[in-house]
Structure 1
Amino acid sequence: MQRTIIVVDDEPIIRLDLCQMLESLDFHVVAEGEDGFDAVELCRQKHPDMVLLDLEMPLFDGLTAAETIIDGNLAGCVVICTAFADEEFIARAGRAGVSGYLVKPIEPRILKPALEVAWAQGQRLLKTRAEAEDACRRLEENKMIEQAKGKLSKEKKISESDAYREMQKAAMQKRVPIITIAKAVLERETRRDAAVRAKEYLMKQKRLTEPEAYRLLSQEAARRKVSVNEAARQLLEQGGII
């Protein structure tokens, strides 16, 4: 399969030579740039399979651009192309997730295998990152489910096991993941907390009884044409409470 590639170098002649070399090796050059800023913007637009970056460039240097591209998943892999080798740089490039490193002048016979190896390495890095992100997402969702289970248990005065079964049942009935039910439970609790805190705020600020504070909150909600919970949230925001 023909790979798409972006070539970025501040020397027009070097860019031209690289593009011609790549096209002759059956790569499809989709864009060219002259500095790190171009590299990032072109990758945002094109999402190429790979980007070949010079190291020393104005605005953004190649490594800074590479870090931005990799962090944003803007290309399948990043290959640095430079006229010198530096151990500290190579270490930083490896930590950033750069998949390949070519030293100028580049020979056509080594370019294609080097880029194919870099592509394979980039795919492994992307897979590893995706797996790590998925694990973090699952961990965060499990935390939310546990929180929702605890709140529902406390609210309904039932065991956490029964609360979890209720959430499972609701998820099955509504045909949604259980995390969706957990988020709804937590959001409802947040809104309820806002109303309670707003009442307490009014009672303290205006020396009102609880019924008086709730009545004032209800009147404010009607005046603003929003729910009581939304009026409570707005009131707390205005008071600098949230």
Structure 2
Amino acid sequence: MSCLSILIADDEALIRLDLKEMLQGAGHVVCGEASTGLQAIELAKSMTPDLAILDVMMPGLDGLDTAMALHSMNIPVLLLTAYSQPKFIKRAEKVSVYGYLVKPIAEHTLLPAVQIAYARWREMQDVRLKLQNTQHELQSQKLIARARAILSAREGVNVYEAHQLLIREAMNQRISVVKLAAKIVNEGL
């Protein structure tokens, strides 16, 4: 696993120290330490860590609310807690965390959890990117189809011939078919 930049937030200094030693011993960089959720958010804004490890119960803003804020900043979160009750787990599911470890934490459970949490987050990023690309492609195809229909009606040709006209004209103007389709649709409105 590659070296990750990790933010730790726990109101217990001894826990932060143990986590830091385990993470650094595995080759990771602890880019910041916080004892409250608000401190964690501020550090995340300035440090942009690869991953955050948050305690659920911290003074002020708890780890679950902090996780929500970090999720909106596109930072994956691994939760750390002494609480394994279903209500905490249910709430953790709703804030899109990538792992949930129950204290006391040992190196043999922490390091695989970090690796898996980061890998799941990367997979999610890939899925989001593919979805965006697919949505963009779909919009482009809809635009081209509308332009073809306009050309077909305007030129009195079938859809296939309209498509060929669209391609030739895009090549003549040295622009993409999508850009030409957008021009045709905008003029046709």
The TM-score, its normalising length taken from structure 1, stands at 0.63
* Identity score, percent: 31
Any idea what SS the aligned residue of 1:6 has?
strand
Are the structure 2 counterparts of residues 52 and 126 from structure 1 closer, same or farther at C-alpha, using a change threshold of 3 Å? same
How many residues are matched? Answer: 188
Is 1:50 equivalent to 2:51 in the alignment? Answer: yes
User: In 2 relative to 1, CA 173–50 (structure 1 residues): closer, same or farther, beyond 3 Å?
Assistant: farther
Residue 140 of structure 1: aligned partner: 139
Match of 2:65 in 1: 64
Output aligned runs, 1:7-26, within 5 Å: 7-26=8-27
- CA deviation vs aligned residue, 1:131-163 (integer Å, no higher than 9, x gap): 223222222222222233333434444433333
Residue deviations 1:58-98, cap 9 Å, x none? Answer: 554323333343344x23x3211122013244345345442
Q: 1: CA distance between counterparts of 2:93 and 2:48?
A: 21
- Structure 1 residues 3 and 140, CA, compared in 2 at 3 Å: closer, same or farther? same
Please state whether the residue corresponding to 1:2 is helix, strand or coil.
coil
Instruction: Point out which structure has higher relative CO (alpha carbons under 8 A, 6+ apart).
Output: 2
User: CA 1:2/1:177 → structure 2, altered by over 3 Å: closer, same or farther?
Assistant: same
Aligned to 1:130: 129
How many Å separate the matches in 1 of 2:70 and 2:82?
Answer: 22
Q: Point out the structure with the larger helix share.
A: 1
Q: 1:154 to 1:91 in 2, by over 3 A?
A: farther
Instruction: Give matches, 1:131-170, under 5 Å.
Output: 131-170=130-169
Residue 184 of structure 1 corresponds to: 183
Q: Where do 5+ consecutive residues of structure 2 fail to align? A: none
Task: Summarize the Cα distance change of 1:129–1:28 in structure 2 as closer, same or farther, 3 Å threshold.
Answer: same
Which amino acid in 2 is paired with 1:27? H
Q: Any unmatched runs of 5+ in structure 1?
A: 194-242
What RMSD, in angstroms, separates the aligned Cα atoms of the two structures?
2.9
AA in 2 matched with 1:47: T
CA apart distance, 1:3: 1.5
Matched AA of 1:115: V
- Where does 1:71-86 land on structure 2 (aligned, <5 Å)? 71-72=72-73, 74-75=74-75, 77-86=76-85
The verdict on how the C-alpha distance between 1:99 and 1:151 changes in structure 2, with shifts beyond 3 A counting, is same
Check 1:113–1:143 CA distance in 2 against 1; reply closer, same or farther (3 A cut). Answer: same
Taking structure 2 as the reference length, what is the TM-score of the superposition? 0.77
How far 1:118 moved relative to its partner?
Answer: 1.8
Deviation by residue 1:14-53 (Cα, 9 ceiling, x = unmatched)? 3333223322222101223344444445444433321112
Structure 1 segments, 4+ long, off by >6 Å, are none
User: Displacement of 1:101 after TM fit?
Assistant: 1.0
Q: What's the counterpart of residue 228 of structure 1? A: none
